[in-house]
Amino acid sequence: MLSSYLTLAAILFCIGLYGALVKRNAVVVLLSIELMLNAVNLNLVAFSKYGAVPSLTGQMFTLFTIAVAAAEAAVGIAVLIALFRARGTVNVDEFDEMRR
C-alpha cells in the first residue's frame, strides 16, 4: 500500500511542477506550489503509517509544513498585490528587470 501512496504523491508533485513551470499568471504559479507541498505532506503521512517505525512524527512534520505553507501563501499573495500596484500586471514574463 505504501508504494501506491508514494506513486500518487509523485504524480501530484509532477503535475504541480509542470504547472509552476508553464503557467504565466503568478497566482496560478503559487497554486501549483501549494499542489507540490500537498504531495510532500501526503508522503510524510504515508510514511508515518507504513514506514519502518510507525509513529506520529510524520504527522507532526506535516502540521508544521502546513503552518509554513500558510505563511508562504499569505506573503506570496501580499507580494503579488504590491507588484500589481507597481507594475499593473501579474504576468511572470514581464518581471524581467534582472535579466537585462
Binding site for another protein (CB under 8 A): 1-8, 10-19, 21-25, 27-28, 30-32, 34-35, 38, 41-42, 45-46, 48-54, 56, 59-60, 62-64, 66-75, 77-82, 84-85, 89-90
Which residue's CB is nearer to another protein, number 65 or number 97?
A: 65
Using the minimum distance from each CB to another protein, give the nearer residue, 4 or 95. 4
- The Cα 28–Cα 34 span in angstroms is 10
CB of 100 to another protein, least distance (A): 19
**Secondary element (H or E) of residue 77:** helix 57-87
In sequence order, what are the beta bridge partners of 91?
Answer: 25
Shortest separation between residue 67's beta carbon and another protein, angstroms? 5
The residue among 93 and 97 lying less far from another protein, judged by its C-beta, is 93
Tell me the C-alpha distance between 32 and 16, whole Å: 5
Grid coordinates given for 70: 500558510
Q: CB-hemisphere CA count at 13 Å for 89?
A: 8
Write down the least CB distance from residue 99 to another protein, Å: 15
